[in-house]
Amino acid sequence: MEKDILVGSHVSMSGPKYYLGSIQEALSYGANVLMIYTGAPQNSTRTPLEKCKIDEGILLARENNMVIDKFICHAPYIINLANPDSEKQKFSQDILINEVKRTAGFKIKYLVLHPGLHVGIGEEAGLTNIINGLKVVLDATKDEDVIICIETMAGKGSELGISFEQVNQIIEGCNNSEKLGVCLDTCHINDAGYDVSNIDEVISKFDSIIGLNRLKAIHLNDSKNLRGARKDRHENIGFGTIGFDTLIKYVYDERLKGIPKILETPYFNKKPPYKDEIEMIKEKKFNKDLFKNY
């Protein structure tokens, strides 16, 4: 891969090898970056950092020239900073504060966050709660070298962050904190209504509304659904409605170089597709028979 083309996938981070196992998994896919959850995404049970084999993982990543400073953590889904219930809001803040600290513990700089669901209180009230919650979290973690990256969402249910305007509203509400970035998910923006095939328009809208300097990660996924469907169902690269030729543009576009592209595509017959998908991306050539032998 060209040096500033950064491609990897979500990899597991679980015992007994923990982070060392994550790095080994990513290397087996031919990736030079990766994304982990620091524990199960659906709960807040966490293995203590000292058991996670972090130094061993970093050493192995270094030996293999992985681009460690572009690695990504993903916050658990249970966080909902938009929740109107003050107890649940506090619970979400506490988990996120802990996740920021864990991300720093893994020596990872970027933590991707789903901004939240308004659960019926309306978009504006939900966005206000997110802003207030994020301010608490940013204040409690100001000494950590971690950037919280707000993810662009598909618009399923009462999701917020479904337009560049909403994402920008959150960032502005937090006084344009330097500790906030954005993760753009190609499947999500397609499902939210953006024309992903028009990369120039996507980039210029992003730049004029949010600022391209805030873009820290790209989730590179195809979509099972048509533009605007508000569904959020990821598809394998080239096998969905976005298509290979469009997705490959996001990997190689000059303006997006140096930004890690992370695959969160579905397993095929319970097998991870990432090695083969990354190979297609490196070769810039779609293989419609990719899953024939899975």
Query: Which residues bind to Zn ion, rule: CB under 5 A?
Result: 151
**Least distance to Zn ion from the beta carbon of 228, Å?**
20
Closest CB to Zn ion among 162 and 290? 162
Determine phi and psi for 14, rounding to 5 degrees: -145, 165
Q: Using the CB atoms, write b or e for 81-95: b if 16+ within 10 Å.
A: bbbeeeebbebbbeb
- Cα 285 to Cα 33, 57, 71, 281: the distances in Å are 21, 31, 26, 7
Q: Which residues pair with 234 in a beta bridge?
A: 223
Determine phi and psi for 193, rounding to 5 degrees: 120, -5
**Least distance to Zn ion from the beta carbon of 232, Å?**
9
Strand 261-263 and strand 7-10: pairing? parallel
Q: Which residue is nearest to Zn ion (CB)?
A: 151
Closest CB to Zn ion among 53 and 190? 190
**Least distance to Zn ion from the beta carbon of 166, Å?**
16
Closest CB to Zn ion among 151 and 222? 151
Q: Is 266 exposed, middle or buried (0-12, 13-18, 19+ CB in 10 A)?
A: middle
**Least distance to Zn ion from the beta carbon of 132, Å?**
22
**Least distance to Zn ion from the beta carbon of 114, Å?**
6
Q: Using the CB atoms, write b or e for 127-138: b if 16+ within 10 Å.
A: bbbbbebbebbb
Closest CB to Zn ion among 151 and 276? 151
Q: Which residues pair with 74 in a beta bridge?
A: 112
Instruction: Give the pair of three-digit tokens for residue 238.
Output: 């080239």
**Least distance to Zn ion from the beta carbon of 111, Å?**
11
Closest CB to Zn ion among 112 and 281? 112
Instruction: Give the pair of three-digit tokens for residue 168.
Output: 């920008």
Closest CB to Zn ion among 53 and 216? 216
**Least distance to Zn ion from the beta carbon of 100, Å?**
16
Closest CB to Zn ion among 53 and 188? 188
Q: Are 143 and 100 in contact (CB under 8 A)?
A: no
CA–CA distance, 128 with 170 (Å, rounded to integer): 8
Q: Are 278 and 10 in contact (CB under 8 A)?
A: no
**Locus of tokens 């190689």:** 252
**Least distance to Zn ion from the beta carbon of 112, Å?**
6
Closest CB to Zn ion among 20 and 38? 38
